């Protein structure tokens, strides 16, 4: 159950004024995606004006619709689904029916982009492989998002975010040395893969603008996960060193980690010698340490981490966070309170950036919205619209995009394009 009182306390979303048409306003995207990586990629395109038509199975739709929390008033629009499917249209098609498949092909023939993240082989079984779709529409940018790629010995493997974290070495790098590594709480590989897919699609569209021809684009979750291991991968390749788990401290800089004030935990990151000197001279009022000939050198500080942390722990514990925060900011020392997610979403930083707002919903009145982080001055994101219900735009798409009239729609319904038709629907179509 959504907490409407909490939601209605959020500010109403105010989009930045556009100086011209939406930057992707002429783009049509056929969206065969589900769960996270695919929908987030197409949502970014929709946020900047693309006409994204999400193809879903009748009745149940995208399985991600049913992830908690789900409100009984909108049973197929759980919070996770609303988060990843803003600004889209939903077209409910039975892709196992000839009539439903024909509608999909008609849409593909006039689309700019197709995005799919089914298991390998599913689009082939539908008869919607890249070669077939390119023959229908040579200008099509066809983006496949998979676990391990569409070719090669691992193309058949299913993959989800935590599996990619595990197999890429990412988990081995995170956590504490005295226990197994840990995955991140958020699906960071899915989110990063979505960003990569969006970039790849836009690059392919730029190439098409140059030569008029579409192309196949592939983004794999595992490939992204290897990139997400950061510069640790290159450290290993150049030295054979396997990054160790360091908890909240940094293996490269000191002091960096979580410290406790009288009332709240916070993180400090001293990325260079000058920051270290400002921390100890201006914040902790210990110039003797700030300019110590040994401790003022980054490499030597790493050897003295326990000593430095002990001094800092004792000092910070004497005053509340409200005392230390302005001193750290004034001294330009990178710092941040260790917040819960709820504290972060209610923070002044989030409020000042307009990141959490509310937008209209046809059933609930209002739902929360998390703003797109991309800020374009002349062509900003469009005014957000709530993620659709299953098949909400089926007839709109058929009429306005494909030119079907009432009789044609009734005939498609009788042929099972939108699921098993009732006897009455078959009679009307006849």
pLDDT of residue 19: 83
Give this prediction's pTM. 0.95
Rg (CA), the chain: 26
Work out whether the CA dihedral 154, 40, 395, 28 comes out positive or negative. Answer: negative
Nearest Cα to Cα of residue 31 among 99, 92, 102, 113: 113
* Total residues found in the chain within this entry: 430
pLDDT of residue 350: 98
- Residue 219 burial by Cβ neighbours in a 10 Å radius (0-12, 13-18, 19+): buried
Please give the structure tokens belonging to residue 410.
């009734």
**Host H or E run for residue 144:** strand 141-146
Please give the structure tokens belonging to residue 307.
């000593």
Within 284-334, strands assigned E span: none
Round to the nearest angstrom and report the end-to-end CA distance of the chain: 43
Please give the structure tokens belonging to residue 420.
């098993």
User: 3-state DSSP call for residue 198?
Assistant: helix
What stretches of 11-94 show up as alpha helix (H) in DSSP? 37-47, 79-84
Angstrom distance (rounded) from CA 90 to CA 53: 6
pLDDT of residue 420: 84
Nearest Cα to Cα of residue 47 among 369, 387, 374, 381: 381
pLDDT of residue 425: 53
Contacts of 333 (CB under 8 A, 6+ apart): 268, 270, 275, 278, 279, 283
pLDDT of residue 1: 85
Q: How many CB atoms lie within 10 A of CB 348?
A: 7
Angstrom distance (rounded) from CA 269 to CA 289: 17
Q: How many CB atoms lie within 10 A of CB 5?
A: 7
pLDDT of residue 422: 55
Contacts of 239 (CB under 8 A, 6+ apart): none
Q: Are 242 and 177 in contact (CB under 8 A)?
A: no
- Domain ranges within the chain, ordered by starting residue: 4-230+352-392, 265-337
User: 3-state DSSP call for residue 116?
Assistant: strand
Q: Are 317 and 308 in contact (CB under 8 A)?
A: no
Pick the CATH number of 4-230+352-392 from 1.10.287.1080, 3.40.50.10540, 3.40.50.720, 3.40.50.11540: 3.40.50.10540
Q: pLDDT tens digits, the chain, 430 residues: what are they?
A: 899 999 999 999 998 888 889 999 999 999 999 999 999 999 999 999 999 999 999 999 999 999 999 999 999 999 999 999 999 999 999 999 999 999 999 999 999 999 999 999 999 999 999 999 999 999 999 999 999 999 999 999 999 999 999 999 999 999 999 999 999 999 999 999 999 999 999 999 999 999 999 999 999 999 999 999 999 999 999 999 999 999 999 998 999 999 999 999 999 999 999 999 999 999 999 999 999 999 999 999 999 999 999 999 999 999 999 999 999 999 999 999 999 999 999 999 999 999 999 999 999 999 999 999 999 999 999 999 999 999 999 999 999 999 999 999 999 999 999 998 755 455 445 5
């Amino acid at each position: 159950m959504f907490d409407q009182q909490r939601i209605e306390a959020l500010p109403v979303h105010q989009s930045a004024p556009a100086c011209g048409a939406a930057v992707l306003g002429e783009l049509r995207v056929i969206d065969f995606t589900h769960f996270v990586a695919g929908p987030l990629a197409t949502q970014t395109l929709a946020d900047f004006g693309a006409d994204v038509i999400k193809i879903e199975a009748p009745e149940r739709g995208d399985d991600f619709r049913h992830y908690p929390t789900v409100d009984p008033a909108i049973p197929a629009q759980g919070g996770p689904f609303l988060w990843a499917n803003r600004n889209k249209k939903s077209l409910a098609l039975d892709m196992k029916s000839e009539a439903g498949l024909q509608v999909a092909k008609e849409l593909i023939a006039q689309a700019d982009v197709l995005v799919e993240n089914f298991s390998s082989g599913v689009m082939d079984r539908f008869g919607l492989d890249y070669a077939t779709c390119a023959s229908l529409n040579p200008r099509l940018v066809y983006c496949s998002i998979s676990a391990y790629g569409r070719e090669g010995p691992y193309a058949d493997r299913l993959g989800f975010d935590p599996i990619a974290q595990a197999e890429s070495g990412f988990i081995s790098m995170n956590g504490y040395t005295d226990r197994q590594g840990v995955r991140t709480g958020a699906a960071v590989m899915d989110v990063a893969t979505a960003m990569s897919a969006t970039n790849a699609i836009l690059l392919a569209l730029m190439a098409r603008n140059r030569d008029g021809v579409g192309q196949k684009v592939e983004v794999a979750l595992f490939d992204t996960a290897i990139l997400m291991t950061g510069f640790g991968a290159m450290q290993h390749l150049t030295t054979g060193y396997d990054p160790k788990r360091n908890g909240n401290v940094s293996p490269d800089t000191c002091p960096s980690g979580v410290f406790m004030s009288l009332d709240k935990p916070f993180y400090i990151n001293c990325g260079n010698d000058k920051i270290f000197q400002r921390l100890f001279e201006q914040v902790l009022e210990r110039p003797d340490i700030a300019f110590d000939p040994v401790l003022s050198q980054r490499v030597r500080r790493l050897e003295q981490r326990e000593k430095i942390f002990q001094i800092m722990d004792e000092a910070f514990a004497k005053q509340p966070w409200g005392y230390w925060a302005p001193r750290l900011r004034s001294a330009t020392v990178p710092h941040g309170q260790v917040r819960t997610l709820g504290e972060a979403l209610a923070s002044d930083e989030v409020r000042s950036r307009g990141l959490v707002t509310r937008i209209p919903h046809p059933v609930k009145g209002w739902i929360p919205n998390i703003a797109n982080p991309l800020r374009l001055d002349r062509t900003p994101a469009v005014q957000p619209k709530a993620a659709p219900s299953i098949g909400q735009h089926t007839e709109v798409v058929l009429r306005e995009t494909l030119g079907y009239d009432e009789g044609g729609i009734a005939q498609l319904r009788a042929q099972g394009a939108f699921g098993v038709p009732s006897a009455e629907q078959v009679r009307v179509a006849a």
